[in-house]
Amino acid sequence: MSDDHVPGTAGPEGDGQGRGAGKGRDGITGPRRTGAAPSGESVEDRLRRAFRTAPEPTPATRGRAALRLVSENMHMLPRPAVVPADPWEALTVRAPGSASQLLDREQMEEAVAGSFDHLRTTLLKMLRANGWNRVAIAAPTRGCGTTYSAAHLAHSLAQVPGSRTLLMDLNLRRPGLAAMLDMPGTGRMRAFLGGQVSLDDHVVRTGDTLAIGLSQHSEPEAAHLLQSEVCARVIGDMMDQLSPDVMLCDLPPLLEHDDLSAFLPQVDGVLLVADGGQTLPEHVAACERRLHGQTRVLGVVLNQARRTGPLPAYA
């Protein structure tokens, strides 16, 4: 027997009857390693050819030939379907910086933590009872503590084990969340809402139960973007992918800008933030009139903003 007939080595082409083809120890025709298969021949064709040329194959020998061919051609087989990862789990994890104003529960005054927990419980009950999960938070006027309230409410919501809270800074005119959480360099909200930046390039997780979308650059024409179809699609896709229990969106003051009005179709309701020091009852009444017939006011958060210095300037 020449080397041509040593199993598994190259040999002269068979004649279709098993003659001249390399034979293995089990007597079946071995696959040619060189020269036997025309280039571009598929795995299926090679399997068929192997079966055709095997002398009197039994089911067992067919199986062995098939196994050998398949194992030698693994790289040609279609890849098994990959189970997609949970997009929530796939988000980059980034903790708030050391200068974050979001206090640890231990550091927070008991009364403050208790108030946000109470608000969380009431809000969750209302949302669950109605199948809602998209909430806007805004004040009648600037500097009432909307961002402070949004961050602390989100933090409180995120204390619920196994839950998912998504906090979005949609105050594109005067974004405040990145500074409040000491997370610089993470905000490209305009590009994200415009569909130019992907979800996992923009939204980050600060832990298992809280994800945040930040904004950093002041955007005077924010209402156009918030009202756009592409923004609605991006928000819808994000909700589908991340499946948060609550999405909380920080928006500019309602009586000063029309951004919240532009974004109303994307939310189930609005939480109003009133500042004990500056918000008048007529401010709240004016907000309710503005929102009437378009969405529902889910509640009014009475905050005591402890600002130092003048009211913030808006873009």
Ligand X SMILES: Nc1ncnc2c1ncn2[C@@H]1O[C@H](COP(=O)(O)OP(=O)(O)OP(=O)(O)O)[C@@H](O)[C@H]1O
Binding site for ligand X (CB under 6 A): 101, 139, 142-148, 171, 174, 176, 253, 303-307, 312
Q: Which residue is nearest to Mg ion (CB)?
A: 147
Binding partner at 228 among ligand X, Mg ion, none, C-beta below 5 to 8 Å by kind = none
Question: Which CB atom, from 75 or from 306, has the smaller least distance to ligand X?
Answer: 306
When the beta carbons of 230 and 311 are compared against ligand X, the nearer one is 311
Least separation in angstroms between CB 256 and ligand X: 8
For residue 125, CA distances in Å to 129, 131, 250, 295 come to 6, 10, 21, 18
What is the distance between the alpha carbons of residues 211 and 164, in angstroms, rounded to a whole number?
A: 8
Nearer to ligand X, 23 or 283 (CB): 283
3-state secondary structure the chain: CCHHHCCCCCCCCCCCCCCCCCECCCCCECCCCCCCCCCCCCHHHHHHHHHHHCCCCCHHHHHHHHHHHHHHCHHHCCCCCCCCCCHHHHCEECCCCCCCCCCCCCCCCHHHHHHHHHHHHHHHHHHHHHCCCEEEEECCCCCCCHHHHHHHHHHHHCCCCCCCEEEEECCCCCCCHHHHCCCCCCCCHHHHHCCCCCHHHHCEECCCCEEEECCCCCCCCHHHHHHCHHHHHHHHHHHHHHCCCEEEEECCCCCCCCHHHHHHHHCCEEEEEEECCCCCHHHHHHHHHHHCCCCCEEEEEEECCCCCCCCCCCC
Please tell me the number of Cα atoms within 13 Å of 238 on its side-chain side.
33
Least separation, in Å, of the C-beta of 101 and ligand X?
A: 5
Smallest separation, CB 104 to ligand X (Å)? 15
CB of 308 to ligand X, least distance (A): 7
148 interacts with, out of ligand X, Mg ion, none, CB within 5 to 8 A per kind: ligand X
Q: Which is nearer to ligand X, 115 or 133 (CB)?
A: 115
Q: How far is the CB of 151 from ligand X (least distance, A)?
A: 8
By C-beta, is 64 or 307 nearer to ligand X?
Answer: 307
Binding at 75: pick from ligand X, Mg ion, none (beta carbon under 5-8 Å per type) = none
Which among ligand X, Mg ion, none contacts residue 215 (Cβ within 5 to 8 A by kind)?
none
Q: Which does 133 bind (CB under 5 to 8 A by kind): ligand X, Mg ion, none?
A: none
Least distance in Å: CB of 312 to ligand X? 4
Picked from Mg ion, ligand X, none, the partner binding residue 305 (CB below 5 to 8 A depending on kind) is ligand X
What is the contact surface with Mg ion in residues (CB under 5 A)?
146-147, 176
Identity of the residue, 96 or 253, whose beta carbon is nearer to ligand X in the bound complex: 253
Pick the closer one to ligand X by CB: 14 or 187. Answer: 187
Pick from ligand X, Mg ion, none: which does 101 bind, CB < 5 to 8 A by kind? ligand X
Minimum distance from residue 171 beta carbon to Mg ion (Å): 5
